[in-house]
Amino acid sequence: MRGVSLWRAVLGVGKKTVVERVVEDGAAGVIVVHVRPVKSERGRCGICRCRCPGYDGGSGRRRWRGLDAGAVRVFCEAEAPRVRCAEHGVVVAAVPWARHGAGHTRGFDDQVAWLAVVCSKTAVTRLMRIAWRTVGAIVERVCAETDARVDRFAGLRRIGIDEISYRRGYRYLTVVVDHDTGLLVWAADGHNERTLLAFFEVLGAERCQKITHVSADGAGYIAKAVAACCPRAVRCIDPFHVISWATDALDEVRRQAWRQASRELGRRRNGAIRLPRGHSDAHRRIKRSRWALWKNPENLTEPQADKLAWIAKTHPRLHRAYLLKEGLRHVFKTAADPAQALDCWLAWAQRCRIEVFIELGRKIKRHRSEIEATVTHRLSNALVESVNTKIRLITRMAFGFHSPDALIAMAMLALGGYRPTLPGR
């Protein structure tokens, strides 16, 4: 009995598995443990685990890879009969020590899935002595079982929506995050209205009506899908994206100033005009001022502060665009009355005589209600951006994925609360 208990602990199987005998295969350098399910676990469908009549003996005895015993590989060996399920047809009977269709025990799968979150795939393959693609297959299998058992949409009220590029060639994932739990609840390949409508279809009409807040960027397809499926939800545009609009507009003004300085330098070299001393390298200094214009004033280095001072003296239009960007940042960061501060900024942008900022003011007016809702409800997409950063880290640690399904399974395992505990812990 002590030997049986010991081998149950080594294999990570419970009392539903009977250990018959242990054989050492010296030629292969492995240990083979002959097992069988207890009587109550026999004759069950491998998919739904319902009791079914037997069909045949299958292809005979088969093996499942178990956790290593030190440096020696361990296998479970048992009969693999087939049963006839009323719902799923003829399938291999379920076994308590492994998932359906797997070539490894549950403990082996769980350990690989846990390691895949904290290690690179290369490290997992070297440690567990399995193939590169096997890691992805195990991750998908563990996630599929967890997804079938757990209701990830339970209590969903406030969500954040964003897209992330995961591969070259404009390949994107649309991700949905629960603001209350901080977990990734859904992801799919694509970043269009059809992809997002698929999420709301999976969520169901009843649960869509319970969504109270949705944070996102200003993408039109997100607004259309949310308005169609969650009419009661308050839409919030993330302040980070609003500031990024101003940063893009500022960068366009910088490029315009750089092109103008380059034209003037070309005319000077042709003898058409004569510029004052110090203007010959103006186009180069403007080109290198990008980070000085983008960074917040409190984070500027001394050389970057000098560049801003030079821009204020020599390029007032570009400096005005910089002040407009900082003024919009002030609206979200330190303004006591954000609505009044935004009104003042919009009036300033309307008369600034910089076309890109005039157009930005019109764009902000179109999204005024969503921006004010963001300030009122203090809801941003910072949590979603954090999840996106972790997805990028997962992609980099794995050196890329062959399919979006493998990446989504890995993201759900690491960020969706699907990661199993280590066997025996």
DSSP 109-150: HHHHHHHHHHS-HHHHHHHHT--HHHHHHHHHHHHHHHHHHS
Looking at the chain, the whole-number percentage of residues with pLDDT higher than 90 is 37
CB atoms near residue 137 (< 10 Å): 19
The type of residue at 317 is R
pLDDT recorded at residue 147 = 83
Rg (CA), the chain: 30
CB 222 within 8 Å of CB 216: yes
- Give the strands of the sheet with 82-85, arranged side by side: 54-56, 82-85, 89-92
Percent of the chain residues past pLDDT 70, beyond the cut:
94
Examine the domain organization and report whether 316 and 418 are in the same domain: no
Which segments of 315-399 does DSSP mark as H helices, in order?
316-333, 338-350, 355-366, 368-377, 382-397
CATH number at residue 147: 3.30.420.10
**Does residue 339 have a pLDDT over 90?**
no
Inform me whether the pLDDT recorded for 369 exceeds 70.
yes
Domain final residue, candidates 362, 377, 392: 377
Residues paired with 175 in a beta bridge: 162, 187
> Which tokens sit at 50?
């319902």
**pLDDT on residue 176:** 94
Backbone angles phi, psi at 165, to 5 degrees: -80, 125
**Which value, to the nearest 10 degrees, does the dihedral of the CA atoms of residues 306, 312, 315, 319 take?**
110
CA distance 41 to 237: 53
Residues 124, 207, single domain; the answer is yes
Q: Which of 54, 78, 97 is the last residue of a domain?
A: 97
Q: In this predicted model, what pLDDT tens digit does every residue of 184-219 receive, in sequence order?
A: 999 999 888 999 999 999 999 999 999 999 998 878
Residues 114 and 219 in one domain: yes
Same domain, 155 and 176: yes
In terms of Cβ atoms closer than 10 Å to its own Cβ (0-12, 13-18, 19+), residue 144 is: middle
Question: Three-state SS for 402?
Answer: coil
Q: What is the pLDDT of residue 2?
A: 59
Both 82 and 118 in a single domain? no
pLDDT reading at 335 higher than 70:
no
User: Which residue, chain included where needed, has tokens 């757990």?
Assistant: 150
CA distance 280 to 385: 42
What is the reported pLDDT for 7?
81
Cβ atoms of residues 74 and 31 within 8 Å: yes
Provide the domain count of the chain. Answer: 3
Nearest alpha carbon to residue 214 among 165, 244, 177, 173:
177
pLDDT tens, residue by residue, 258-296: 888 877 766 555 554 454 454 557 778 888 888 888 888
Q: Residue holding tokens 């026999």?
A: 42
Local confidence band at 64 (pLDDT 50, 70, 90 cut-offs): very high
pLDDT at 210: 92
What are 38's two structure tokens?
Answer: 């207890």
pLDDT at 58: 86
pLDDT at 341 over 90: no
Q: Which domain covers residue 194, as residue numbers?
A: 104-238+381-425
Give yes or no: residues 411 and 290 share one domain. no
Whether pLDDT at 170 is above 50? yes
Which amino acid, 239?
A: P
Contacts of 309 (CB under 8 A, 6+ apart): none
Q: Is the pLDDT score of 114 beyond 60?
A: yes
Average pLDDT, the chain: 86
CA dihedral 358, 362, 363, 367 (to 10 degrees): 140
Task: Tell me: do 259 and 345 sit in the same domain.
Answer: yes
Coil vs helix vs strand at 7: helix
